[in-house]
Amino acid sequence: MTSTVLTFAVSALTFVLVSLTPGDAARAVLGRDATPEQYRQLRAQLGLDEPLAVQYWHWLVRAVHGDLGTALSTGQPVLRTLEQRLGPSLSLITGALVVSALLGVGLGVLSAVRGGAVGRALDLLSMLGLALPSFWLGLVLVAAFAVALPIFPASGYVPLTDSPWEWLRSLALPVLTLGIGGSATIAKQTRDAMLDEMGRDYIVLLRARGLPERSIVLRHALKNAAVPVVTVLGLLFVGLLSGSVLAETVYVVPGLGSTAVTATQAHDIPLIQGVALCFTVIVITVNLLVELLYGRLDPRSRG
């Protein structure tokens, strides 16, 4: 029920906000040389001359029946466009989340366990990741690994079905651009949670029983510290949805983020509505997965 209300609220708010932005889809399609008569005819054909509430109602009725309409700027069904663009976006966001989790958890655990100069150095690295703007980091990565050392392509996207190796190469720079910044947040949360767990009584008891330090850290302390880290990972995934808009635009990745930018410029309301609806479903799904992980990591949360 909550998910349905949230989806409805997001779709209605998106429809209103996009309608209030400057621009006109009919004008974007016809160009400046169109006559007033052609302009009026196209607006009537697209239903743009109807009141805003009527336009939204017509869209909502079609959406409930699985029809998100046709993109005004391309004439292609919105569902087909979303199917084509969802894969690149999920590949980018999932890859960035994996990089953030591996780097962040690794740095956070090392910082909590080692302490001293090593811990302070790792803390400095994680703070630098928070401070560096994504667009600047992206430019540095392109200059270093696409221009100076032509290891990865500077832009473009290769589907996984065409070539798995080229797919990985095409995603490497955008994934690192998003993932390095996210790893700093994960590292700080992991460090704080690990320090809290390492100071608890059960850690002393485990050491007194002679368990190896690695087993204590990885099998006991890290598992108990994982709940707040999972929370941050869920929030980071949602944040990466907005970050993907910049990354897809800079690296020319044909995903949902770049589609949203193009649709906004063309004032293509059906396509914007479709992208917003897709993002909403992704957020709801991620929140559900986080709740399920809570139950696995902390059985007390199931009640």
Query: 268 and 150: one domain?
Result: yes
Question: How does residue 299 score in pLDDT terms, banded at 50, 70 and 90?
Answer: low
Is 254 within the bounds of a domain?
yes
Residue 230 lies in a domain: yes
Mark whether 90 and 165 lie in a shared domain: yes
- Decide if pLDDT at 301 tops 60: no
**pLDDT value for 175:** 92
What was the pLDDT predicted at 165? 92
Please count the structural domains in the chain.
2
220 found inside a domain = yes
Residues 165 and 198 occupy one common structural domain = yes
pLDDT at 302 over 70: no
Residues 46 and 147 in one domain: no
- Does a structural domain hold residue 268? yes
Tens digit of each residue's pLDDT (9 = 90 or more) over 261-281? 888 877 788 888 888 888 888
Model confidence at 303: pLDDT above 70: no
Q: Are residues 58 and 93 in the same domain?
A: no
**Residue 112 and residue 17 share a domain:** no
3-state secondary structure of 77: strand
Same domain membership, residue 278 and residue 220? yes
From its phi and psi, is residue 69 left (phi > 0), alpha (psi between -120 and 50) or beta?
left
Look at 18-32, 61-75, 83-97, 178-192 and tell me which has the smallest mean pLDDT: 18-32
Residue 221 is predicted with a pLDDT of: 84
Torsion of CA 152, 158, 162, 166, to 10 degrees: 10
144 lies in a domain? yes
The residue-averaged pLDDT of 277-291 equals 85
Q: Are residues 130 and 13 in the same domain?
A: no
Q: In this structure, what CATH number is given to the domain that contains residue 147?
A: 1.10.3720.10
Find which of 93-97, 136-140, 287-291 is predicted with most confidence, using mean pLDDT. 93-97
Residues 253 and 287 in one domain: yes
Considering the domain architecture, whether residues 180 and 253 belong to the same structural domain is answered as: yes
Residue 111 binned pLDDT confidence (cut-offs 50, 70, 90)? confident
Q: 3-class DSSP state for residue 70?
A: strand
Do residues 49 and 198 share a domain?
no
The whole-number pLDDT of residue 118 equals 65
User: Does residue 63 have a pLDDT over 70?
Assistant: yes
User: In which band, very low, low, confident or very high, does the pLDDT at 95 lie, cut at 50, 70 and 90?
Assistant: very high
Q: What is the pLDDT of residues 210-249, one digit of tens each?
A: 888 888 888 888 888 888 888 888 888 888 888 888 888 8
Instruction: Tell me whether residue 74 is in a domain.
Output: no
Residue 300, pLDDT > 70, answer no
Domain housing 95: 84-302
Which pLDDT score, from 0 to 100, does residue 171 have? 92
Residues 6+ apart with CB under 8 A from 211: none
Q: Do 31 and 178 sit in the same domain of this protein?
A: no
Q: What Cα–Cα distance (Å) separates residue 207 from each residue in 135, 202, 214, 299? A: 46, 9, 11, 25
Question: Which tens digits make up the pLDDT trace of 151-202?
Answer: 899 888 999 889 999 999 999 999 998 888 888 888 888 888 888 888 888 8
